[in-house]
């Protein structure tokens, strides 16, 4: 589930969201420890993907132990389920790169309005693989929107398969050229797409029920594109 708002409102809302998810009647006085990232998106070469599927290349930087850790992720994403005819994701064909397939469900107030997307992605540390597969080479400089993301984790429910995964709360900010910085708060949980796991997640985020929209709001990829468009001449 996601919530989009202005920066000042989002700072207050983040403390409220974290407090409610811990069943507190009041917003948190102080934010817990978190991991902070700087995010950039790059244009990638066009490919013969099925209709409504697009590829993206993301760079994520994190300061850790005095060093900057870099992760590049190449992803092809579109409506779920993945089509059988989806071409090979060539960026992931190197035997040193693992491929991940996933289906994400953006929750709406009415489950019938949930939005399902599916993707294939692979991530690399560019310092550890040389040469990089061609798909990880951007076709231009980083897209102009300045993006940051802070990730918090809270105890999550137990999935139907028995695994226990944390709730992830990500606080994204997008700095366009002509408008105020926008913010996005995303709460997610990794599980199966079974109805029982969707219900477990809905129960976990029940304290945020009134924040669910009638239809899912645009996610971080769409907000990044909108932010980039504001920088266009």
Q: Where are the domains of the chain?
A: 1-43+140-233, 46-59+71-137
Residues 6+ apart with CB under 8 A from 189: 156, 157, 165, 166, 167, 168, 200, 201, 204
Q: What's residue 186's pLDDT?
A: 93
Tokens of 58: 């993301």
The secondary structure of the chain, three-state, reads CEEEEEHHHHHHHHHHHHHHHCCCCCCCCCCCCCEEEEEEEECCCCCCCCCCCEEEEEEEEEEECCEEEEEEEEEEEEECCCCCCCCCCHHHCCCCCCEEEEEEEECCCCHHHCEEEEEEEEEECCCCCCCCCHHHCCCCCECCCEEEEEEEEECCCECCCCCECCEEEEEEEEECCCCCCEEEEEEEECCCCCHHHHHHHHHHCHHHHHHCCCCCCCCHHHHHHHHHHHHCC
Q: What confidence category does residue 197 fall into, taking pLDDT thresholds of 50, 70 and 90?
A: very high
The whole-chain average pLDDT of the chain stands at 85
Whole-number pLDDT of residue 148: 95
Confidence band, pLDDT 50/70/90 cuts, at residue 132: confident
Tokens standing for 153? Answer: 């984790």
pLDDT at 91 over 60: no
pLDDT band at 49 (very low <50, low <70, confident <90, very high): confident
Torsion sign over Cα 13, 115, 225, 127: positive
- 147 is written with which tokens? 């993006």
Average of pLDDT values for 49-74?
A: 88
Q: What is the pTM of this model?
A: 0.87
| C-beta separation of 211 from 205 below 8 A | no
Least confident interval from 12-21, 149-158, 172-181: 172-181
Query: 47 pLDDT band (50/70/90 cuts)?
Result: confident
């Amino acid at each position: 589930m996601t919530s989009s708002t202005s920066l000042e409102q989002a700072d207050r809302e983040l403390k409220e969201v974290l407090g409610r998810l811990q069943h507190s009647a009041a917003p948190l006085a102080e934010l817990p420890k978190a991991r902070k990232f700087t995010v950039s998106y790059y244009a990638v070469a066009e490919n013969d993907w099925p209709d409504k599927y697009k590829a993206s290349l993301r760079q994520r930087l994190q300061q850790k132990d005095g060093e900057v850790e870099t992760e590049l992720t190449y992803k092809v994403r579109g409506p779920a389920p993945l089509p059988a005819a989806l071409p090979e994701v060539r960026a992931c064909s190197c035997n040193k790169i693992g491929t991940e397939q996933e289906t994400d469900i953006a929750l709406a107030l009415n489950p019938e309005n949930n939005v399902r997307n599916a993707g294939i992605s692979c991530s690399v540390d560019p310092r550890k693989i040389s040469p990089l597969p061609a798909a990880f080479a951007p076709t231009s400089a980083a897209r102009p929107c300045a993006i940051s993301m802070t990730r918090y984790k809270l105890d999550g429910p137990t999935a139907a398969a028995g695994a226990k995964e944390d709730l992830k709360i990500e606080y994204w900010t997008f700095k366009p050229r002509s408008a105020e910085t926008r913010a996005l708060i995303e709460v997610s949980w990794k599980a199966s797409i079974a109805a029982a796991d969707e219900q477990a997640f809905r129960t976990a985020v029940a304290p945020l029920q009134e924040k669910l929209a009638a239809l899912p709001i645009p996610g971080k990829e769409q907000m990044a594109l909108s932010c980039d468009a504001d920088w266009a001449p």
